[in-house]
């Protein structure tokens, strides 16, 4: 992974890197990705899931309910008139 790619990935991940970090991560990620080449020789298999066990359809009924008081959830959030504060969009 070259420095340009690391910069592109960092932008996508919303992380600003210093020059020293760019240098360090470029080297580390290259070492790690070289090690990942081992996966190329790993045996293949038919099909795969995202969990290590079978998770059947175990969803509960879709009934609205409120378990936590919104004011309790908002107690430590930076808010304005019960809206969460955030940066401007443009």
Q: Which residues on adjacent β-strands are paired with residue 80? A: 83
Nearest to 19 by CA among 73, 10, 55: 10
Residues 6+ apart with CB under 8 A from 29: 1, 6
Angstrom distance (rounded) from CA 50 to CA 33: 22
Per CB under 8 A, does 23 bind other proteins?
A: no
- Which of 51, 64, 81, 82 is in the footprint of other proteins by CB under 8 A? 51
3-state secondary structure (DSSP) of residue 58:
coil
- CB closer to other proteins, 82 vs 88: 88
Residue in 59, 65, 81, 82 binding other proteins, rule: CB under 8 A: 59
Least distance from other proteins to the Cβ atom of residue 20, Å: 11
Helix (H) or strand (E) holding 25: helix 19-36
Per CB under 8 A, residues contacting other proteins are 1, 5-6, 9-10, 12-17, 21, 25, 28-29, 31-33, 35-36, 38-40, 42-45, 47-56, 58-60, 68-69, 72-73, 75-78, 84-90
């Amino acid at each position: 992974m070259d420095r340009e790619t690391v910069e592109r990935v960092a932008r996508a991940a919303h992380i600003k890197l210093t020059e020293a970090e760019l240098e360090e991560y470029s080297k580390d990620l290259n070492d790690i990705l070289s090690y990942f080449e081992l996966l190329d020789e790993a045996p293949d298999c038919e099909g795969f899931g995202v969990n290590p066990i079978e998770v059947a359809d175990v969803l509960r009924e879709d009934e609205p309910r409120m378990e936590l008081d919104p004011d309790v959830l908002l107690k430590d959030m930076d808010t304005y008139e019960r809206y969460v504060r955030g940066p401007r969009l443009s």
